[in-house]
Structure 1
């Protein structure tokens, strides 16, 4: 199996998924996530279909935001980062979460698997599960 040197990264993926109004969800997902993609957030697994339902829900509550990558490492098919996601919700409130992420790339450079743990820095108690809400 050959691995491509070109790969996605979390800032670009999250920007396309959540912070680019008008970009079709399926198109955004196809750019960054392999067909067999799966994700574990705070211990809860989701397949690609469940992940896309999560992103569709977030798109309904996110008005804007930013992704700040603090640390990022790529080693062959492996990727790790620590980033802070700041979200302004449609109700005007702000949520900030620090995320520790470990991932594996598919041979075409898209994410095949992500495992992440989130730490809420700012937001209401009801926003604690925003990283996996559907």
Structure 2
């Protein structure tokens, strides 16, 4: 199997690299048949891309800290914290528990994650799946 992506690489490319092309970033890290379930709600690749486009309109800067990460063949798991500063200056901090599967080319085919709002406004609780 080719080199695999990581969630930190994907999120940095998608959200924290100003001026990067969204379609190219999605293509680098996510297979054509990609699906994601966040806090119980499923999204296909097009819906996921819509979600990231929405976040790009909200997020000014941020960081990702990976606490634990495990890859076993095509399986991937991690626990990470995402901290973002929104364009309005509000700060949000979320912890994410993630399980995923890689496609044969090393891109994510599936991610299932649960998010926990550590700090931020109550309205930010749904940031992980907002569109």
Query: Under a length normalisation based on structure 1, what TM-score does the superposition of the two structures give?
Result: 0.97
Give 1:90's match in structure 2, choosing from 87, 106, 114.
Answer: 87
TM-score (norm 2): 0.99
2:7 pairs with 1:7: no
Cα offsets for 1:79-121 (capped at 9, x unmatched): 0000000010000010000000000000000000000000000
Aligned twin of 2:37? 40
Q: Does 1:123 align with 2:120?
A: yes
Which blocks of at least 5 consecutive residues in structure 1 are unaligned? none
Q: 72, 77, 80: which is aligned to 1:75?
A: 72
Query: Hey, which bits of structure 1, 4+ residues long, moved more than 2 A?
Result: none
What RMSD, in angstroms, separates the aligned Cα atoms of the two structures? 0.4
Unaligned runs of 5+ in 2: none
1:41 CA displacement:
0.1
Tell me the CA shift for residue 68 of structure 1.
0.1
